[in-house]
Structure 1
Amino acid sequence: MLTPHHRYRCALGKLQPNRTDLDAVKEEGWRKQRILVINEADERLDLVEREIVRRIGERLYGKGGQRDG
């Protein structure tokens, strides 16, 4: 007689976080709230765009990520 083979599921499996698609979160933030999150080294940007992002970041937050004033 064959009995069904049941897989044991650990109760802690429910507590494991789901992976978040960060690009989808960034896109949703831009579309809904007009918040833009950009990595200066993003390969989708050309050299001029990277420089613009760097300058905006330094103007808002200072060099090395430290705020002015």
Structure 2
Amino acid sequence: MDKIKFPYRSDGHLALLHVVHDSGSWEKHGLQVEYDFFISADDAHRGVAKGEVEFVSGNHL
């Protein structure tokens, strides 16, 4: 399984992430997703640019 870091920008995004997780969609596509930490917009920009995180939820990027 590929490990993916997927931080979230807002608690409002967690509901969708839980639906995806609970449906088994991550595993179905061979992904082990860590999405249980909050990230600021500035850290998200830096993290994506540096390759430290693969995805960030929200509309700030």
**TM-score exceeds 0.5:** no
Decide which structure has the larger Cα Rg and report it.
Answer: 1
Greater helix proportion: 1
Q: Relative CO higher for 1 or 2, CA cutoff 8 Å, sep ≥ 6?
A: 2
TM range (shorter): under 0.3
The structure that is strand-richer by fraction is 2
